[in-house]
Structure 1
Amino acid sequence: MGSTRNKKLILVMLSLGLLTLAGYGIYAWQTHGDRSKQISYTAFMQKVNAGSIARARIAGEEITADAKSGEKYRLFVPAGANLPDLLIAKKVDLTSTPASGGPKWFEIGFFVAIAVFLIVVLRRFTSMGRSRARMIDHAESATRFSDVAGAEEAKVELLDTVEFLKDPKKFSLLGGKMPTGVLLVGPPGTGKTLIARAVAGEADVPFFSISGSEFVEMYVGVGASRVRDLFAQAKKAAPCIVFIDEIDAVGRKRDAAVGGGASDERDQTLNQLLVEMDGFEVNSGIVVLAATNRPEILDAALLRSGRFDRQVTVGSPDIRGREAILKVHAKNVPLHDEVDLMVIARGTPGFSGADLANVVNEAAIMAARSNKERVEMIDFDLAKDKVLMGAEKKSMVLSDKSKLSTAYHEAGHVLVAKLTPGCDPVHKVTIIPRGRAMGVTVQIPEDDIYCYTKEMLVAHLKVLMGGRAAEELIYRTTTTGAGNDLARATDTARKMVCEWGMSRAFGPVAFGHNESAEPGAKKGFSDVTALEIDNEIRSIVTGCYSDVMALLRENMDVLERLSRELFAKETLASAEIDAILGLPEVEDDAGMAAA
């Protein structure tokens, strides 16, 4: 940090020196830029009497004169001299102006500018090392556990943290030491920040909130200074909660071979965070909550005992959790009697709390747009489709040829999903452009799925291949419309080989993935193995594609019939699809896994 202060001081001194030189140069140019020669009053009078002066200008006590020879003179008039009459008598072109205060005002303005600049620079540098955390006083924190739905297990795990904040001494009576660091782990939108606020609200303590990216700056040492300032504020406000969102921005694994090692700004910031957490006194009343959706990339020093030694998983809610979340967000929304939140919850597997909040909000907006007094079930269905598939692009007019091509593509997805065991049921298919997709096939799982079998993943790969296979069978060519399908299929196959041990060639071996690796880090396996992995991924994807091609060839008549109906109606629901395929009607709940 000492070197950082020296750099700041050097920068300020250089700025002051440059401004001083610039000011002196401007002033010197103003005063000497005319290249006039300063002479005495006696010499000037001799030249006037000799008739060698052509023009003269009197400004207060200063005289500037031009000689007939082209020379320029400058002098000051002595007190009591009656110079104008003499100049007029000698036929000198004389002009007179009042004394100018220009140089004096320039000097004052220049030094005022220097002062303002230095104040701005000093404030900038002194504030750069201050924490940018936003503090919410306990009187302003209105969030409680009752406002958090769908995360009951996480709330239970945090109850003792609330008790600790309310009465830190209670836990030290029997020699216990409460964890001072709690890491909230879960996918985006599951309510990690909301839970942290609820802990502060339940404990009735101040809440400091900051993002991990707000620590790091381009200047080395600034992040460490902000960490020190944050914890200095927290110690003054204890008991309190310090919440660091997206801690992986500053807590990523350190590697001395990458990014400059310990001299790197992020590493220094992380080191200071570790030091501050180690410096907590027993039951000091400060709890550090942090949130991340990538715990695998965090430095091991952060997760050891005494720091973030308690991890609380905040996952996607189950069906009961989704219903509870919908009730929370629909609390102030007038609902029609026909609205059944359990039906909506059943049809939204995999939705996070943020997704469900968006569904309720979109439904309310659609109802208001239609001048309804209450939100109806149809509004929720439309809102769910918008959240899942994107808004309809009504302004995009497709030719019949493009519509028919899209219909064959989506019909291929649907038919493979219907004829392949282990696939999720199809809820809806549409060829109306939505978001970035020309068409969407919507599938739903019958129940919440927390673990996938190899058969389920292979079935998913085949559904993804169905669109491209249908295009190739009908048109003897392929389009760019299958690009996203291929990317998802390849990614799934790679995880099957590298992470889940679902490859015949490699068996139960995990090679990991490179998402968490720093640039330049080793892969953990040889180039020969990497080539074999690529071949195995290709084998899985092409194998599924061959099976799909054979399946569609055997059912070309059904593919044609389904495509023509989809082309005519543009959107088909589950019951309509079953009717076209001649399958018995099955009750369907809305949801999605778009292909």
Structure 2
Amino acid sequence: MGSEEKKDKGIEPVGDNKSRKQNNGGPKGPRKDPSKKILMWLLIIVAFVLALRSVETFNSEKEMMLTYSQFKALLSHTGEPGQEAEQVESEEQKSGAVEIVDVVVEQKGINNAVLRGEVADPSHLSVIPSLEEPAETKHFVVNLPFVDSDMLREWDEYGIPYTFEQDRAWGSIVLSILPYGLLILIYIFFIRNMHGGGGQKGMFSFGKSKAKVHSLDRPQITFADAAGVEEAKGELAEIIEFLKDPKKFKKLGGKIPKGVLLLGPPGTGKTLLARCVAGEAGVPFLSMSGSDFVEMFVGVGASRVRDLFETAKRSSPCIVFIDEIDAVGRQRGAGLGGGHDEREQTLNQMLVEMDGFEVNSGIILIAATNRPDVLDPALLRPGRFDRQVVVDMPDVKGREGILKVHTKNTPLAPDVDLHTIARGTPGFVGADLSNLVNEAALMAARFGQECVTMLDFEEAKDKVVMGTERKSMVLSEKEKQTTAYHEAGHAICNIHCKDADPLHKVTIIPRGRALGVTYSLPGEDKHSYTKQYILDRVCIMLGGRMAEQMVFNHQTTGASNDIKQATSLIRKMICDYGMTNELGPLSYGEKDDSIFLGRDMNRHRDFSDKTAEEIDRVMRSVIEEQLERAKAILTEHRDQLEWLAKALLEHEMLDREEIMKVIKGDTLESAKKSRVLPRTLKKDKPGVTITPEITPVAEEQSLNSDSE
């Protein structure tokens, strides 16, 4: 499946574009940081309080600050205790006595008070002996630690008029409330941060869905960027047409599908198709992964499902895409222990939201999975997932289309034939072909080329299929000789088995864990296999072991992978395909349906011990029969085996044309292709350039690979 974002223009949405952008929940410009807003309000409050205090201080008259001792000295000059002000009659007494006109006691707290007084004349304050500066005001202030009955009795004896008032200055009130206000604002600040500032990343936003809303403003990809899945595109195109023109279907009584399930192997382009639908439809697109619903807290998954559909309803009509839905959609009742299963609660909520009492009009749910066999039946029924679209592996034509999409911006050499590359990559899906094109481009860039050649694609294909050449692995002459005869045995059996895929290339260059590889190129895509084809493959697999035994009269561990593959293939032929006369067309060993254990962990034995013994006997007889067949082929064509093994020892890699020349007895002058880097990679000495030799790689998947 190929994909590439279009940069020319987006698709116009249905209806009013302006209102659509407001409803889709997409980006609406840079979001303001809530912490900055709270900090701004804190600064405003502090500035207001300071301004209030400054105004209060400015409006108040100038006051002289006295200590309590100075205040008692002032009292002593008002007259004798017990003598009231009216009793002082003579002018001398009046001129020598201090007259306190008014005293107001402001209660600041339980153990704090402020006495504000006023004398008749500012000169009266000059009688205080400890006063440092001459008094210029008749107002004075005294801080009192407390006010008790003894203090009030003393004031009464001196005849001082006093009153009590509560401190009602706005500045003081605000200053007393300010600490509590600051604590409340700090609490709100941390709570908003823990909730992610209203977003989805907060500490307490567990129940919020993590769906990503894709904006319509950015470039969208369409069906033109996808290839190889024409049937799936046709199914999804109808949904897009319904979103654009619903009246066309509603007038005939048609209803929009509620859900579409995309099924297929990994890498076939299921997620890409969902993105194409969003780009073509021009409606809000919400994407989410199945694993995003389930976390460590109980009830989070169900809450996120509810929040997801509420968000979708506000953006209706829209498309909701859930990737890997099998993470939450597995069959219920499969858990062990009988406890609360969070995944089941999430699935139950999803079932209700998709088709419950409430109608989700205009919401289309698209889900993708490569494990449809483990999904709950209630999730697959019509009304929830009305359509199941199979996105299978592409055929030759589809692979060629995918290669055209991926090579759209890649300069290709004239010798590049995409049809030949597509024909030589059976079983490749869109992700594999994308990786193949990328590796070929990197290979061409490594050699400083201006364009990608066919040889780059061949090398990239070999690297993708088998891995990089292990140039550092040095084989002894004996191991190299054994490997050459082993691979020659595979090749000779492949040539003389009529129903096998045509031989394509043989190499004894170590790649990955294989010491050598013999692989073939299918003439066409195959979807079913005959019994003779399976037997031919087993014969080819056993040809390597038989060649070793015939030439060296010993057996090595190099054939372990061949034996494992042959045994597995014969078991499937007997137990699954029913291709033997002894056991008949019966299936033996049903798979265990334990969803909790993955459903493929065990096989349920549904046959007797006698039948098991018969299966083992038939398997052994088939294996031995094909081993004898390989021996007969190699004995008959022993000269071809010797010629091919010697040619492999000399050239290390041979393609089909070269192999056919060798088995006819012709001599190859030079079969090993190589090329060197045109630019300097490493210099040991000035003027000396080291250019490594690169061996071209194979063009098809291997049938037989020998492990170390």
TM-score (norm 2): 0.62
1:483 aligns with 2:560: yes
Query: Residue in 1 aligned with 2:511?
Result: 434
Question: Aligned partners of 2:192 and 2:401: how far apart in 1?
Answer: 56
Maintained 8 Å contact 1:410/1:439: yes
Using the TM superposition, give the Cα deviation of residue 264 of structure 1 relative to its aligned residue in structure 2, in angstroms: 2.0
Report what 1:523 is aligned to. Answer: 604
Does 2:437 align with 1:356?
Answer: no
State the secondary structure of the residue aligned to 2:512: coil
Equivalences for 1:13-92 in 2 at 5 Å?
Answer: none
Q: Is the 8 A contact 1:168 1:283 kept in 2?
A: no
User: In structure 2, the residue corresponding to 1:128 is in which secondary structure?
Assistant: coil
Whole-angstrom distance in 1 between the partners of 2:663 and 2:470:
29
Number of paired residues? 481
1:523 partner letter: H
- 1:560 corresponds, among 617, 628, 642, to 642
Relative distance call for 1:329 and 1:163 in structure 2 (3 A) is same
Mapped to 1, the partners of 2:594 and 2:635 lie a distance apart of: 44
Work out the CA distance in 2 between the residues paired with 1:429 and 1:555: 18
Determine if contact 2:488/2:641 at 8 Å carries over to the other structure. Answer: yes
Instruction: Tell me the residue number matched to 2:264.
Output: 186
1:482 alignment partner AA: A
Q: Distance in 2 between matches of 1:250 and 1:336?
A: 48
| Map of 1:393 onto structure 2 | 470
* Offset, 1:126: 2.5
Instruction: Say if 2:414 is the partner of 1:305.
Output: no
In 1, the alpha carbon distance for the partners of 2:309 and 2:237 equals 24
Where does residue 41 of structure 1 map in the other structure? none
Map residues 299-338 of structure 1 onto 2, 5 A cutoff: 299-338=376-415
TM-aligned CA distance change 1:282 to 1:370, over 3 Å:
same
1:287 corresponds in structure 2 to 364
The whole-number CA distance in structure 2 between the counterparts of 1:539 and 1:268 is 52
State the Cα distance separating 1:404 from its structure 2 match: 1.7
CA distance in 2, matches of 1:506, 1:236: 62
Deviates more, 1:556-565 or 1:438-447: 556-565
Contact 1:389 1:434 in 2 (8 A): yes
Write the letter of the residue equivalent to 2:215.
D
Gaps of 5+ in 2: 1-144, 146-185, 667-697
Q: Deviation of residue 562 (structure 1)? A: 1.4
Matching of residues 173-212 of structure 1 within 5 Å? 173-212=251-290
Whole-Å Cα distance in 1 between the matches of residues 429 and 497 of structure 2?
28
Contact 1:392 1:435 in 2 (8 A): yes
Match in the other structure for 2:344: 267
Alignment match, 1:570: 652
- The offset of 1:289, in angstroms, is 1.6
Partner Cα separation in structure 1 for residue 495 and residue 458 of structure 2:
23
User: Hey, what's the Cα distance between the residues in 2 that align with 1:236 and 1:117?
Assistant: 26
Q: How does 1:71-470 map to 2 (within 5 A)?
A: 126-140=204-218, 142-168=220-246, 170-256=248-334, 258-261=335-338, 263-279=340-356, 284-470=361-547
Answering whether residue 701 of structure 2 is matched by residue 592 of structure 1, we say: yes
Q: How far off is 1:182 after superposition?
A: 1.3
Tell me, what secondary structure is at the counterpart of 2:504?
A: strand
Superposed CA offset, 1:214-258 (max 9, x none) = 3333444333333223222222222222222222232223345x4
Q: Flag the 1:228–1:515 CA change in 2: closer, same or farther, 3 A.
A: farther
* Aligned residues of 2:257 and 2:386 also touching (Cα < 8 A): yes
Alignment partners' CA distance in 1, 2:614 and 2:207: 50
Helix, strand or coil for the counterpart of 2:205?
A: helix
Q: Is contact 1:417–1:463 with CA below 8 Å preserved after alignment?
A: yes
* Structure 1 residue matching 2:701: 3-state secondary structure: coil
Structure 2 counterpart of 1:553, one-letter code: T
Contact 1:425 1:443 in 2 (8 A): yes
Q: 2:637 is aligned with what amino acid?
A: N
Contact kept in structure 2, 1:137 and 1:205, CA below 8 Å: no
Change in Cα spacing, 1:282 to 1:224, as seen in structure 2 (3 Å) is closer
The worse-fitting range, judged by mean Cα deviation, of 311-320 and 500-509 is 500-509
Aligned counterparts of 1:245 and 1:534: Cα–Cα separation in 2: 43
TM-superposed CA distance for 1:121, in Å, is 10
Equivalent position SS for 1:594: strand
Distance in 2, Cα, partners of 1:222 & 1:594? 48
CA deviations over 1:520-553 (Å, ceiling 9, x no partner): 9872624535565555445444443343234333
Q: Which amino acid aligns with 1:250?
A: V
CA drift of 1:348 comes to: 1.7
Name the SS for the 2:389 alignment partner: strand
1:161 CA drift (Å): 1.2
Given that residues 244 and 290 in structure 1 are in contact (C-alpha distance below 8 angstroms), is that contact kept between their aligned partners in structure 2?
yes
The change in CA–CA distance for 1:462 and 1:246 in structure 2 (over 3 A counts) is farther
Match of 1:506 in 2: 583
In the superposition, the TM-score normalised over structure 1's length comes to 0.73
Change in 2 beyond 3 A, CA 1:302/1:503: farther
Quick check: which one's helix share is greater? 1
